[in-house]
Amino acid sequence: MAADRWDGPAFRARVDEVLRGFVGAEADQLAAIDPALDPVAGQLKAAVARGKRLRAAFCYWGWRAAGQPDSAAMVRAAASMELVHAAAVVHDDLIDDSPLRHGRPTVHVALRSAVAHRPGAAQAAQALGMLVGDLLMSLAGQLFATSGLPAAYLARARPLWGTLARELIAGECLEILQTAGVPDLPASLKVIRYKTAKYTVEQPLLIGGVLAGAGDRLCGGYSSYGVPLGEAFQLRDDLLGLFGDERVTGKAGGDDVRGHRPTALLAETWRLAGPAERERLRALLGRPDPDGEGLRAVRDLMGRLEAPDRIEAMITERVDEALAALDGLRLPTPADDTLRALAHSATVRPY
């Protein structure tokens, strides 16, 4: 990646190299404690083996947009955002009991083979998955602290880690608390904002900016760009989760319906539905659906009510809001161009 030109594949390669080396070494040290830990160490490595590396990119460009140069140490610091994401994914899949991620068994499902010989194997595998997620979050802080950036830079960004963790956990808790409740759009959008939007875009940008010494005006602009863009990212994810091709998305379709989760898509469907349609929807949500007939019925109902179109409009509104925030910041051209390109990458994804 040239210093002033965004090259997505080259940046991902740099982040991947950091993660492979750091997590690989940590996983090997874990496995060295006892051979029985080999499957756990393997899943630790697998958890960071792939990804779009958007969170690392936002952190890195939060640094660059504040006037700092390219830096290998900053790439290591930015890569820590991917460990936060990996931890969140492992925990989220565990909470939702999701079977697939990127077309492969999720961590807690993959670990069932390690405990298949014992009673309560599924519960034991879930416990192992939880511990993998916990270790990934711990490693995120370790990678950040040992990135090689000056101690004074790291110190001024450290408080943001507490905010990131608090808001991420708040969003996850809110989703659990609101699951199977009456669908409500403001409540669903709050879950999106805290569970995903902030740690995906806003907080990485702010951490990169504060590391670089960004002032209040620039940090305020990062938030004005990051929150709506992060919401658009998750709204797109919700659409993909129900209407996407599993072969493309790599996720089990319909998990949100089977789990009766508080998505904005469901809330909009509920708002648009009449009494009979709400009764039908209530009967379809949160139930086993081995033949997929209920899922098809939910998709048909949503399509008839044009709820997906409304979510598409919400995505467009938020992307426009994010790009308008960039207009007011007057960033250096490379940073401005990159943040616009990242807005597209985050919200325009194949079905």
* Predicted local confidence at residue 1, as pLDDT: 45
Domain assignment of residue 217, yes or no? yes
Give pLDDT, residue 259.
84
Domains of the chain: total: 1
Domain range for residue 303? Answer: 8-347
**Is residue 2 in a domain?**
no
Token pair for 150: 């000056």
- Stretches where the chain sits below pLDDT 50 are 1-2
Q: CA–CA separation, 20 vs 25, rounded Å?
A: 8
100 three-class SS:
strand
Please name which of 34, 11, 32, 14 lies closest in space to residue 22, comparing C-alpha atoms.
14
**DSSP SS3 for 45:** helix
Task: Return the pLDDT at 249.
Answer: 66
pLDDT of residue 290: 57
**Residue 72: which of 1, 140, 151 has the closest Cα?**
1
Joined tokens for residue 278: 């709400």
Say if 191 falls within a structural domain.
yes
Specify the pTM: 0.94
CATH number, residue 55: 1.10.600.10
Residue 135 lies in a domain: yes
pLDDT at residue 22 in the model: 98
The pLDDT, as a whole number, for residue 252 is 63
Tokens 């997906």, residue located: 308
Degrees, nearest 5: CA angle 112-117-123: 45
User: Which pLDDT belongs to residue 176?
Assistant: 95
